[in-house]
Amino acid sequence: MFSLRMELRKDPITRSWVITGDDVPDASPRTDSPCRFCADATTPLQVIASRTEVEGVPWSARSVVHPLPLYRIEGEPSRRGDGLYDRMRSIGAHEVLVENSRHNRQLWNANDNEIEQFLRLAAQRIKDLKGDARLKYISIFKNHGVNAGQEFEHATSQLTATTFVPRRVLYELRAGRDYYEKKERCVFCDIIGQEERQGLRVVELRGDYIAMCPYAPRVPYETWILPRVHESSFERSALSRTGGFRDLASLLRRTLQRIRTITEEFHLVLHTSPNTIHGSESLGYWKTIDEDYHWHFEILPILGAKAKSYTFKEVYYSPVASETAVKRLRDAKIDS
């Protein structure tokens, strides 16, 4: 757990913000008893809950304020200089997205309706928080396993809303824009097109969604899930469609089952378009974002001894080629 003495500092070379302070996070998941996230727990800081059709269960998925938030919604970022450096207070939002009211109903063993409810709840939170012009980016992620930094035993993901765009997303946004400037096409659509034609790295196609291993993986068995039809914003996909999102829920569940035949520990992260109410200092204001960016999930499995190495490396080392990884994932024995 982090203390509240954290602040944001900008790396002047890479121009990326980091959250920093003296405390280090506690590595083991918290085992509250009774569990604070289970259906019958009284969590006063509920933000939003989704309806459920299951009898005796009050909600299907819900969002609550993180018990020890890294970011807080009150106040102004108070951005200030420190010589050549920049720093600001950690203004934003930090929520726990409870995936299911039942303790062990995870994204790989819940039913597709429950997973769809969770995805729509996540989308609703992104949409709501994007209404706050101070917030530049909303991240949704799940850390599962001790080496992944899992915090709670209950089936949960987390949301952070920040006054800056995280580094990895910033790289993707810039790269997507550069590619579009040259070719007037979305780089992700081009990747999907080529992968579907070649069939070398496709894990599974399901309706409008594809699961695939990237050409240049950062970790073994890295897998992405993307919509096959262009869309920059996850929440727009989630909240505008009526039927098709069930396929995404199903593909996410099946892909996590495949990953779990390799390792139980992984990071899952959603990459979607940033808040475009105002231009940002690092991205400027540009009109093609809806054309040049393409939302997706990334799954980064953690394989034993190699777990800690990749976060420190400048050049990722991945000892399993995606063409090999995809075979094992495709052939994995999973539920229907």
| Contacts to Zn ion by CB under 5 A | 35, 37-38, 103, 154, 186, 188-189, 230, 271, 294
**Integer angstrom CA distances of residue 201 from 60, 86, 186, 216, 247:** 34, 42, 19, 11, 20
Q: How many CA atoms lie within 13 A of 12 on its CB side?
A: 7
Task: Write out the two tokens for 231.
Answer: 């869309």
Q: Please, which residue, 6 or 114, has the CB nearer to Zn ion?
A: 114
Give me the least distance between CB of 151 and Zn ion, in Å please: 13
Structure tokens at 178: 């550069």
Residue in the block written with tokens 């996540």: 122
**Shortest reach from residue 47's CB to Zn ion, in Å:** 18
Provide, rounded to whole angstroms, the least separation between the CB of residue 143 and Zn ion: 16
Which C-beta is closer to Zn ion: that of 90 or that of 272? 272
Within 8 A by CB and 6+ apart from 31, the residues are 153
Contact 290, 273 (CB under 8 A): yes
Output 186 or 238, the one with its CB closest to Zn ion: 186
Query: In what helix (H) or strand (E) does residue 86 lie, and over which residues does it extend?
Result: strand 85-89
Q: Smallest distance, Å, CB 207 to Zn ion?
A: 17
Paired residues of 17 in beta bridges: 10
- Phi/psi of residue 56, nearest 5 degrees: 80, 0
Nearer to Zn ion, 30 or 246 (CB): 30
CB of 4 to Zn ion, least distance (A): 25
Looking at the Cβ atoms of 267 and 271, the one nearer to Zn ion is 271
